[in-house]
Structure 1
Amino acid sequence: MVKISEPDMTDQLRADDWIKEGLKALTKSGFTALKADPLAKAIGVSRGSFYWHFADLGAFHAAVLKRWREIAAEEIIAGVEADTDEALTALLRRTFGARLDLERAVRNWAAFDPAAQAAVRAIDRRRLDYIEALLQRRGFSAATAQGRAQILYWTFLGFALSGPPVPPARLQGLLDEIQKMIST
């Protein structure tokens, strides 16, 4: 006789698995795809696993937004700080060279959801503060660093929210121009 045992907790999905699937769905299909049923179908499990990890959809959304903030700010900042290039140069290369589909998806979500709006405001502030600090490291006064950081950030947002990707050679030319603008 074959004994069928209950799956043990180590065989179940982790909360991070759901969050990763949520980020993929958000990027591909937008915030309306962040629901337990379609995500469970995409992963190939029941909704019960979802509710094992998240009290409700709001808790899941909060976890997705938290992970986005980690990816879109903290991981980039850590990478820049570990890079051997000058920090602002490394930041420009990393951010303007990245795929920004997730950035666009979260900002679209923020147009409809107060929690996503708060996450976007928090990440915008974090990024601006970091850019200001990098400019101050370059020797700019606090006031000049604040103004240039805002202009750089608006430039990034315009780039992030624009349509098709820029060819690499053209992108490098644009990054060179940005460097010239912030070096004087």
Structure 2
Amino acid sequence: MTQGDATAKARLSAGDWAQAALDALAAGGLAAVAVEPIAKRLGTTKGSFYWHFKDRAALIDAALARWEQRSTDDVIAEIDVETDPAERLHRLFAHVIDYAATGRIELALLASADQASVAATLRRVADRRIEYVAELLRESGLSAGHARTRAVVTVSIYHGFNQLARVSPDALPSTEAQRKALVDSAFESLLPKQH
């Protein structure tokens, strides 16, 4: 091992590699998660990669774990600082609609859902998101059955926004006021009517 390899290994963490893999995934799908091009982008060698990972599959697993943490667990933790379930749901919608305009990782993952590790991650994330939204809806007054159904609709709407942003970005609201109106409309359709 050369001095340069040791320095690169000291500078780059497994997290740096996982993030670079996510960036490659967003830009070119799962096939773009290749060690040599990522090493080049990071300004290092394959030796740095092998310092942190056994193989490409391990890098993909780390990238998937990072995406799951950031796109679901971290978002839920951020939303959960609010105590009112209706306000948490509203904030979640605002976050999701903003993300849908730029998020490309999920679309790339959906295109690779036939890969076992990707499929397992997507399933876990979808189940977690549905359960979280259902929990907020139950806390807002819906029965468990209605909350679950509306949570599935909510997560479906998010996936629709994400895909629409990819195929017809002009169809989504471009101003903050338009996004707020869309969030308000979606939010109102989910909660029980107040009498």
TM (normalized to structure 1)?
Answer: 0.89
* Equivalent residue, structure 2, for 1:21: 20
Can you give the 5+ residue segments of structure 1 that lack an aligned partner in the other structure?
none
CA shift in 2, pair 1:8/1:156, >3 Å = closer
Residue 166 of structure 1 deviates from its aligned partner by 2.9
* Equivalent-residue separation in structure 1 for 2:3 and 2:65 (angstroms): 35
Of 121, 127, 133, which aligns to 2:123?
121
Distance in 2 between residues matched to 1:159 and 1:66, nearest whole Å: 23
| Contact preservation (8 Å) 1:128, 1:150 | yes
Distance 2:9 2:55 in 1: 22
Q: How far is the alpha carbon of 1:62 from its aligned partner?
A: 0.6
Of 176, 179, 183, the residue aligned with 2:187 is 179
**Secondary structure of the structure 1 residue equivalent to 2:63:** helix
The CA deviation at 1:5 is 5.6
RMSD: 2.0
Partner SS, residue 45 of structure 1: coil
Q: What's the TM-score, normalizing by structure 2? A: 0.85
CA distance in structure 1 between the aligned counterparts of 2:62 and 2:77, rounded to whole angstroms: 21
The answer on whether the counterparts of 1:19 and 1:63 sit within 8 Å (CA) in structure 2 is yes
- The correspondence for 1:166, drawn from 167, 173, 178, is 173
1:78-109: CA deviation from partner (whole Å, max 9, x where unpaired)? 11012477111111111111132122222222
- Percent pairwise identity: 31
Matched residues in 2 for 1:23 and 1:84: separation? 32
CA distance in 1, matches of 2:150, 2:160: 15
* AA in 2 matched with 1:44: G
2:98 corresponding residue in structure 1: 97
- Post-superposition offset of 1:172: 2.2
Q: Give the CA deviation at 1:144.
A: 0.9
Which has the larger displacement, 64-73 or 4-13? 4-13
Alignment size in residue pairs: 180
List, as ranges, runs of 4+ consecutive aligned residues in structure 1 with deviation greater than 4 Å.
Answer: none
Q: Which has the higher contact order (CA 8 A, sep 6+)?
A: 2
The one-letter amino acid of 1:78's match is A
1:87–1:134 Cα contact (<8 Å) kept: yes
The offset of 1:73, in angstroms, is 0.4
| Structure 2 CA distance for partners of 1:5 and 1:46, relative to 1, 3 Å | closer
The range that moved more, 169-178 or 115-124, is 169-178
Q: Distance in 1 between matches of 2:9 and 2:49?
A: 15
Aligned-pair CA distance for 1:8? 5.7
Q: Which runs of 5+ in 2 are unaligned?
A: none
